[in-house]
Amino acid sequence: MSIKFIDDLTMDIYVKKELINDLDFNDKDTLEKYLKKLFKTLKNKYSITIEGFYDIDVYIDKYYGVVFHLEKEDIDYYDYFKNQVDMRIITIDTEFMYEVEDIPRSILNKVNVLVIDDNIYIKLKEKLNKLEMMELIENSRLVYDKN
């Protein structure tokens, strides 16, 4: 899992597929329970407190895993709302792209290559092994649709 803070009210949480294999994204109750557990982990492990109202977009990619895009509503919560989280969750099935400078030869036959505005992007067309996926993640920037 990794976390990217975009600003004071917005963050992305990246979770690899192996960590969410059993999660049913179509069941909102199960997803909400998972998120509350995730928020507890963020608080205990990283000292990141999630409280208040959040719009949460869940971007699901069959090869990578999930990006949770959290946007906190900028409204004042009174003290009795402390330690509570209310959320609106939208799930989005998508295909992640990876912005790269070089494409590893070992995965050339497993990806589609796109060139957009002089940038090179790849989309997976089949599953990579763990080593290939780790190398790709370390040497790319993950791109997903945030309409």
Percent of the chain with pLDDT over 90: 73
Using pLDDT thresholds of 50, 70 and 90, give the confidence band for residue 80. Answer: very low
Q: Quick check: 107 and 128 in contact, CB under 8 A?
A: yes
Instruction: Give the tens place of pLDDT for each residue, 82-130.
Output: 678 889 999 999 999 999 999 988 899 999 999 999 999 999 999 999 9
Using pLDDT thresholds of 50, 70 and 90, give the confidence band for residue 75. Answer: confident
> So what's the pLDDT on residue 52?
86
Kindly list the strands in the beta sheet with 119-124, ordered across the sheet, starting from the edge strand earlier in the chain: 111-116, 119-124, 97-100, 141-143
Is the pLDDT score of 79 beyond 90?
A: no
Rounded mean pLDDT, 30-47: 94
| 3-class DSSP assignment, residue 37 | helix
What is the reported pTM?
Answer: 0.88
- Domain definitions of the chain by residue range: 2-93, 97-141
Q: Which of 119, 120, 138, 118 is nearest to 128 (CA)?
A: 138
